[in-house]
Structure 1
Amino acid sequence: MNREKILEGIKKAFEVKKPRNFVQTLEMIINFRNVDFKKNRLNIRFPLPRGKGKENKVIVVADESTLYQIKDLPVDIKLTPEEVPNFPIKELKKIAKKAVVYVQPQYIPLVAKHWGKVLGGRGNTILPFVGDPKTLIERGKNMVRIVTRGKMVPTVHVPIGTEEMSPEALADNAMAVLDELAKKNLTSNIKNIYFKFSMSPPVKVV
């Protein structure tokens, strides 16, 4: 799939987009053929190169000295391990599906014990907070997932940005999705691709 066709499909999605009183997300829908997702389930996480338009919430669980070092970085929720058991589960449930949770490795078992059921039930996982904090947080803000919805459903839905972004930026993000699938040797198994804004009709690319 070349970028020109992707860009053309995105522009058509803009043309058929119906106005709404909220910012619509553009979803990339990819249908596969000759793939048994019962045996090869997908769960890929990666940052979109041109951003999501709507950033993820980022949670960091770390010791006090580390939290102090990242005090000026755009982290939505900072917690010490001692605070994890008392964090409201109701609040966690509200954000768990789209939040990116970073945890220092030594505290992952603790966080998994208290949050694992909520995160896992929403298809989320804990990521180790190892490396350059600024880079990790920036990646987390723009991270998306390519995940199969069921064992027998040969389709993935990936949000690649919003209507406030340019078609060119959205095309770059779409190509990044295809690059990730190429790493899994799945591009030759793509049957067709659609682009669809939240409350608008889908546009078929191939």
Structure 2
Amino acid sequence: MNRRQFFRSGFFNIGDLFRQRTPEPIRPKKQLRHVDLTVLTDAPDAVEEFVNENVREFFGEHMLRLRQSVLHGDFPGGILLFENDRLRDHRDGISLFFAALRTMEEELDLRRMHHDPTLVRYSNFTPPMSNAIEIYHRDTVVRRAPLHESATFEVEGSLGPVSVKIENGKFSITDAACRHKICVAHPPIITPGQRITCLPNEITVVVKGDGN
């Protein structure tokens, strides 16, 4: 059994065994998860190969590879995982999905510094049309704003203020109280479902919702 077969069979067998051994009244139903995975790396081809061989199964019936973006400069790589809009720590989980992500992080040495890295992003759902952004601190929406109205303002992150700008229908972070400023280097977002995350400040901005 190769690694892909191990992750796949283990993932489904554990879930099925749990459901079979749980009394019917409290047996959990299979629920659709919205999975959003971003990998920052200077070796995007290696990431795509690993994901296709070992991670694809965990996205359900279909997995979308979204448009890639390049950050100019030197930045630490890594993995960002959202499930149903909640940021998850893949290093602190027992599922085989998380185990596969940890294996990818270790084998591809993602946590080192990367030069001009690429944001490789995958999702298992197509977001609805939207013309607004929602700003989350941790898992709570702290502000909403329409994309069709130019604006500059600040939101308070865990380490301090995060300065943002909306211009020509695009959202960007212009400054933040964080060390590496990956969020500032991130290209502006405009497409529904796109997001920018400042991990040290626990701020996530996603194109979502109605701006009217």
Fold agreement, TM-score > 0.5: no
Which has a greater percent of helix?
1
TM-score by length of 2: 0.29
Which has a greater percent of strand?
2
TM-score by length of 1: 0.29
